[in-house]
Structure 1
Amino acid sequence: MRAHWGAIAAADFFTTEVWTWRGLVTFYTVFVIDLATRRVQVLGMTLHPDEAFMRQIVRTLTMADAEPCRVLLCDRDAKWSASVRERLEESGIRVVQTPYQSPNANAYAERFVRSIKEECLDRLIPLGEQHFRRAVTEFVAHYHRERNHQGLENALIEGTPTIAAGRVHRQQRLGGLLNYYRGAA
């Protein structure tokens, strides 16, 4: 499996309750995470994850400028229907489904869901779709550029941490919900 590590990605959904003019609604967010680099790509957010939405997800996932992925690990949720899996297979992506009720079989995706919920979405009440989208976008940027990852030997996904003697400067995202500390020059 290590020989193919760079070609494997995991996909999953998570749900978030968002306050809108219509009251509390549930948004479904689908993402993929590259197992080797831990890079996350949010593929879409919707109120109704129907077949048309999933066709768009397949198009997004198979675009030429997307991260190359030859194997996609996903659960047995009905959203990953036979036609969706078939479209992925036709575009050269082998779909491997985890056993029923086995979240540990998709541990990398489940860990990202836990991170985004515990560090961001459980600590705020998104007021509308735009606020929710901004929160997810800011968290993913924080996840890539400012958050250490134990599985990567406490490295950042993008860039390198700046180590400087002297003062420490705090950078904030989402009004201080997400913080990152850098050495000031």
Structure 2
Amino acid sequence: MKQRHARTCRPKRPGRPPTVRSIRALILRLVRENPGWGYRRVHGELATLGIKVGPSTAWEILKQEGLDPAPERASTTWADFLPSQTDALLAADFIETITLNGQRQYILAVIEHTTRRVQVLGTTAHPSADWVTQAIRNLVMDLNDAGCRARHLIRDRDGKFPALMDEILAEAGIKTVLTGIRMPRMNSIMERWVQSCRHELLDRCLVWNERHLRHALREYEHFYNQHRAHQALNQAAPLRTVLDPITNPKRITDLNIHRRDRLSGVLHEYSYAA
């Protein structure tokens, strides 16, 4: 009699009862709307809503749907962001220098990640909000004329960048991405150009005044984009391809190389003599 009674009292489906369909749908909705959430974060959000569900239940539901319950499931790291968006990335920064007349000058430059082409937007002793926004407007027009499909611009948190600058870029479909505080490596390509500009130009050239600085920067911009070899581009330049290797032995034994000096010999360009 006891065994018969035990069989009649045994539930037809052993184990825990299935999760209510609405709760299951809510868990999947939370994960869909918050890709960075893991099962424990979802469990915490359910608790704030007064829904009593164990964290293991949330874990099982995500696994059944083929979703990784870990919170890093869909997070995007900075190392992943840069390669995935290279074709649509710009970077901007200010450079400071002092001319021989004792005036501090600020240089605003932008570089394209994919081509490494740099553009000096201007120099000024007083980088006001109006000056910066006008420089950015000119940049947006140049990008439109060139058909550039930039979608992000990386910059630091320098106070010389006004809020209106981000609004102008947003209207052009370019989202501003801020680097971390005191983390120049997050804008490494721009910082590398700044280092090259200082080492190859500013540290080797006596700049008299703002007019002279603008001339020197125009020359260096042309040199950097048209001639200077870049390791990241397999020794090509942003606007110059690499020549095919010389296979004719006679040409190798009789190399007629011409040197062109820029800025009175500060920069040297080498090419075959005509």
Q: TM-score, normalised by structure 2?
A: 0.62
2:256 equivalent to 1:175 = no
Query: What RMSD in Å do the two structures reach over aligned CA positions?
Result: 1.7
* Greater RCO structure (CA 8 Å; 6+ sep): 1
Per the alignment, in what secondary structure is the counterpart of residue 102 of structure 2? strand
Cα contact 1:29–1:46 (8 A) shared by 2? yes
Letter in 2 for 1:129: E
Q: 2:132 aligns to what? A: 54
Q: Which has more helix, going by share of residues?
A: 2
**Which residue number corresponds to residue 39 of structure 1?**
117
Q: Which residue of 2 aligns with 1:14?
A: 95
**Match 1:84 to one of 157, 160, 165:** 165
The C-alpha deviation readout for 1:109-133, integer Å capped at 9, x for no partner, is 1010110110011111111222111
Cα pair distance change 1:91/1:161, threshold 3 Å:
closer
Moved more, 98-107 or 165-174: 165-174
Equivalent-residue separation in structure 2 for 1:74 and 1:32 (angstroms): 10
Which of residues 134, 145, 165 in structure 2 aligns to 1:65? 145
Q: Which of structure 1's runs of 4+ aligned residues deviate more than 3 A? A: 160-165
Match of 2:177 in 1: 96
Matched, 1:144 2:225: yes
Corresponding position: 1:24 with 2:113: no
The answer to whether 1:108 aligns with 2:197 is no
Distance in 2 (alpha carbons) for counterparts of 1:106 and 1:3: 15
Instruction: Extract unaligned runs of 5+ from structure 2.
Output: 1-80
Residue 28 of structure 1 aligns to a residue in which SS?
A: strand
Unaligned regions of 5+ residues in structure 1, if any?
none
Residue 206 of structure 2 is matched in structure 1 by 125
Structure 1 residue 88: Cα displacement:
1.8
- Structure 1 residue 160, shift from structure 2 partner: 3.5
Q: Letter of the 2:130 partner, please give it.
A: A
- SS in structure 1 of the partner of residue 176 of structure 2: strand
CA shift, 1:74, in A, is: 0.4
Please state how far the C-alpha of 1:161 moved relative to its aligned partner.
Answer: 5.1
Cα distance in 1, alignment partners of residues 122 and 149 from structure 2:
18
**Alignment check: 8 A CA contact 2:229 2:235 kept:** yes
Give 1 or 2 for the bigger CA radius of gyration: 2
**Aligned AA for 1:96?**
V
SS in 1 for 2:188: helix
Aligned residues of 2:133 and 2:162 also touching (Cα < 8 A): no
**Given that residues 145 and 159 in structure 1 are in contact (C-alpha distance below 8 angstroms), is that contact kept between their aligned partners in structure 2?**
yes
Give a deviation string over 1:65-92, Cα, whole Å, max 9, x none: 2544211000010122323222322221
| Mapped partners of 1:3, 1:36: distance in 2 | 11
Greater strand proportion: 1
TM-score normalised according to structure 1 size: 0.91
